A and B are shown apart, each in its own frame.
Chain A
Amino acid sequence: MAVGATQSIDPYAADLALVRAACARERPAMESLFERLQCVPRIIGALNRSLGTPLDPEEQSDLVQDVLIVLWKKLEEYQGEARIETYAYRVCRFELLNAARKKRRRRILDGGDVEESGRAVDSSDSGQILIADTITRGLARLDRDESTIVRLKHYDSLKFDEIATRLGLSANTVKTRYYRALNRLKTLLTEAGEEGSA
């Protein structure tokens, strides 16, 4: 290498390489990955607090373990489209909302916490948890390409040109896919709303 030359390392590519090595059960990679995944209990704790503590401490620690197991199972699917911590955050969020929803449903089925109107009363049944849950489920039902573009646009605040570079697509293709993704997401959310109110 020439003197003074700099070598830029794409952090996304580095993360993908790390995950692939961990998938191959290479111990150093697994250890490094677990260092990174120490964010999981922090994220779950913060998410649970932010959503009104739908899970008690025991359920929360169970979820930490479950999320780590899910993450390891999903590692094969990781394609480096997000940093490891971001990827972990999404899994944490998805799983926490799932656990909260199941718990809420259980309570309703058990007949507890129900007002005369029949609507479940739950301190965690806040507007935020419903919005987050609805959007999370909607995004999960989009095609992978579509949800990736929507996430990169809104959650990673990238410009269309940057998304195009990241995904190896033309900017116009990214824009049209984004447009179609939003339309599909809107339809999914509308359907979910109708099912929920039925």
Chain B
Amino acid sequence: MNPKDGPHDSTHEAWIAELIAGERSTNDPSVSERLRECATCRADFEALRSLGAALDADADFDARVIEQAEKGDIAPRDRAAFERAREAQLSTAVGAPSPSANSSATPHLRLVWVRVAVVAALVLIGVWFKRPSTGVSPLTDGQLSGEYVLRPCGVIDGANTFVIEGELSKGWKYSFRVCPIDDGGNMLEPILRSPAWLSTPRWELDAAQAGALPKRFRWFVDIQDSRQNLVKTLTCDVELRSR
């Protein structure tokens, strides 16, 4: 087939594609001849060549970013955001935590976890013996400080009730959990969870649960829409001053 007279069908398209993608060289004499003699091929090539070059340049940009990403550190704030999202999704997992997850934990992390569990148990025992003889007494030492990590974020109207305020849609459900923060600022595994997806943005702790709250903790609220999609996870860091 003489290219300059031939139909500009799929064969032509494949030929131009090879040229734009660099799989056929314009230095090839047959290519330069065809471009010289066929106005359609020439126009097509010219029209798409700059787009091909722009895509290559954009791909180079991506390659540079990926190289930087591989070398770069994660900002603490970004790491916290990642952990929040991770926690939120894993809370919806089917089945118990995997053995691999436990075995991959470092001995140091396991030691910290054991210590936290022991401290939590001691606090619980202490609260049990100190409890008033009648009724459930909410803690009165819930003077809160700390940073709202996300906006809009909830407020805690006492150290025994977690409430979210904001633009909340009807039909949303809420799941709460509390993760201690150790002295090094590391967030640990959750020690308290709300029973299930709650239909109101409020979770009230009983006295034992309130007593188990550590000095510093981060509380999470996962919000799920009516189709069981995760809408957002809100968090708030809290420090109980009297602990």
Q: Which residues of A contact B (CB under 8 A)?
A: 24-28, 30-31, 34, 37-47, 49-50, 57-58, 60-62, 64-65, 68-69, 72-73, 89, 93, 128, 131-132, 135, 150, 153-155, 157, 159-160, 172, 175-176, 178-180, 182-183, 185-186, 189
Identify the closest chain B residue to A154 (Cβ).
B55
Does B89 lie within 8 Å of A30, measured CB to CB? yes
- Tell me, in angstroms, the Cα distance from A185 to B58 when the chains sit together: 14
**What chain B residues lie within 8 Å of A50 (beta carbons)?**
61, 64-65, 68
Does B69 lie within 8 Å of A42, measured CB to CB? yes
- The one of B75, B85, B229 in contact with A57, judged by C-beta atoms closer than 8 angstroms, is B75
Identify the closest chain A residue to B67 (Cβ).
A46
**What chain B residues lie within 8 Å of A60 (beta carbons)?**
75, 77-78
**What chain B residues lie within 8 Å of A69 (beta carbons)?**
85, 230, 232
**What chain A residues lie within 8 Å of B13 (beta carbons)?**
175-176, 179-180
- Tell me, in angstroms, the Cα distance from A106 to B48 when the chains sit together: 35
Interchain nearest-CB distance for B70 vs A (Å): 7
Does A68 lie within 8 Å of B85, measured CB to CB? yes
Known pairs A69-B232, A179-B13; A46 contacts B98 (CB<8 A): no
Interchain nearest-CB distance for B152 vs A (Å): 12
Interface of A is mostly: helix
B54-76 residues with Cβ-Cβ distance < 8 A to A are 54-59, 61-62, 64-66, 68-70, 72, 74-75
Interchain nearest-CB distance for A74 vs B (Å): 11
Contact with A along B207-243 (1 / 0, CB 8 A): 0000000000000000000000110110000000000
Does A65 lie within 8 Å of B84, measured CB to CB? yes
**What chain A residues lie within 8 Å of B47 (beta carbons)?**
186
Interchain nearest-CB distance for B151 vs A (Å): 8
- Tell me, in angstroms, the Cα distance from A172 to B215 when the chains sit together: 66
Interchain nearest-CB distance for B220 vs A (Å): 12
